[in-house]
Amino acid sequence: MKYALGPIQYYWPKQRVEDFYKRVALSKVDIVYLGETVCAKRRELKTQDWFDIARMLQDAGKEVCISTMTLLETPSDLTMLKRYCDQQEFMVEANDLAAVQVLSEQGANFCIGPAVNCYNPQTLALFIDKGLKRWTMPVELSRDWLVKIVTDPILENKRQDFEVEIFAYGNMPLAYSARCFTARSENRSKDDCKLCCIDYPQGRIVNSQDDNQLFVINGVQTQSGLKYNLINELKSMQGIVDVVRLSPQSESTLELLDQYQANEFGDHPIALDRAQECNGYWHKIEGMRAV
């Protein structure tokens, strides 16, 4: 099993991002996804800064993948996307079909992130024919759904051509909007957001009126209120899943990686904190539940 760190979903100051990846370089993680995937206004790091970090991680032996924006709305969003797709040093993760279009026109191989709708083996086969090398399943799908996809006869001769990755830890990205909910929560308009999401390194928690932790708002993204945690499901991934993705946390991300690696074969299970964690989607029930 390989382990990956997904893109940082939150808006962190540049120094914090650089310090984080310096520690990542020394860790046992195999694959690192880099880049801003949520909001084009978040520019603490410029394109060049991301490439510098990418090279530093590559020199440290990590496989680096540049992850791209999910909701692309303007011509300048596309220009930025093309800049990331035009380089040849690193593979690119497409989080919108715009990226698939640009990359397949170039004949480049690519990864597909969890916000691209791929729900069946026929769609996956179509992406493989265009150059897909690694696919992260949409977060709302179950193990059962995944097994049906990867064991479908139409993929029989293609299974060696791509890897399957699962979003396994963190607040799941559940929705994207035109509206910035963090700005709204501070009574600001999006145009006048003052990049206030930088004050919330792990997003803002949304509770129901009876104190259930429902969602986390992170700019234009809405995340699950509970953290998805598949640490005790790693054994059930053997033979189906190639890469386990952890989403960077404001604290203790690399300790988490150690825990995951220790429990790869189920030897060191950790009981879920049901007030904070869930794993329902994997078990084909409501995402917010824990089994």
Partner 1 sequence: MVIDMELLCPAGSLSSLKAAVDAGADAVYIGFKDDTNARHFAGLNFNDRQLQQGVEYIRQHQRRLHVAINTFAHPDGILRWQAAVDKAVAIGADVLIIADLAVLDYCHKRYPDVEIHASVQASITNAAAIQFYVDNFNVKRVVLPRVLSIHQVRQLVKQSPVEIEVFAFGSLCIMAEGRCYLSSYLTGESPNTAGACSPAKFVEYKETSSGLETHLNGILIDKFADDEKAGYPTLCKGRFDVDSERFHVLEEPTSLNSMSMLPELMAMGISALKIEGRQRSPNYVSQVTKQWREAIDNCRAAPDSFKPSPATEQCLSHLSEGSQTTLGAYHKKWK
- Please identify, among the stretches 13-21, 29-37, 56-64, 71-79, the one whose residues bind partner 1 according to the rule CB under 8 A: 71-79
DSSP 232: G
> Looking up tokens 């026929």, which residue turns up?
122
Per-residue binding string, partner 1, 213-242, x by CB under 8 A, is: -xx-x----x-x------------------
Nearer to partner 1 (CB atom), residue 95 or residue 253:
95
Per-residue binding string, partner 1, 113-142, x by CB under 8 A, is: --x-xxxxxxx--x-----------xxxx-
Q: At what angle do helices 121-130 and 143-150 cross, to 10 degrees?
A: 60
Q: What kind and span of H or E run contains 243?
A: strand 243-246
- Please identify, among the stretches 39-47, 60-68, 187-195, 251-259, the one whose residues bind partner 1 according to the rule CB under 8 A: 187-195
> What CA–CA distances, in Å, run from 47 to 11, 130, 172, 288?
15, 26, 25, 36
Q: If binding is defined by CB under 8 A, does position 145 make contact with partner 1?
A: yes
3-state secondary structure (DSSP) of residue 109 = coil
Q: What kind and span of H or E run contains 230?
A: none
Six-digit token pair at 137?
């399943």
- Please identify, among the stretches 4-12, 64-72, 235-243, 249-257, the one whose residues bind partner 1 according to the rule CB under 8 A: 64-72
Nearer to partner 1 (CB atom), residue 104 or residue 249:
104
Rounded distance between C-alpha atoms, residue 100 and residue 98, angstroms: 5
Nearer to partner 1 (CB atom), residue 17 or residue 118:
118
Nearest to residue 99, comparing CAs of 63, 52, 57, 132? 132
Nearer to partner 1 (CB atom), residue 252 or residue 276:
276
Residue 12 buriedness (CB in 10 A; 0-12 / 13-18 / 19+): buried
Are 57 and 19 in contact, with CB atoms under 8 Å apart?
no
Min separation Cβ 49 and partner 1, Å: 25
Window 95-114: residues binding partner 1 (CB under 8 A): 96-102
Rounded distance between C-alpha atoms, residue 177 and residue 49, angstroms: 27
Nearer to partner 1 (CB atom), residue 30 or residue 145:
145
Contact residues toward partner 1 (CB under 8 A) are: 70-75, 77-78, 81, 96-102, 115, 117-123, 126, 138-141, 145, 148-149, 152, 172, 174-181, 184-185, 189-191, 204-212, 214-215, 217, 222, 224, 280-281, 284-288
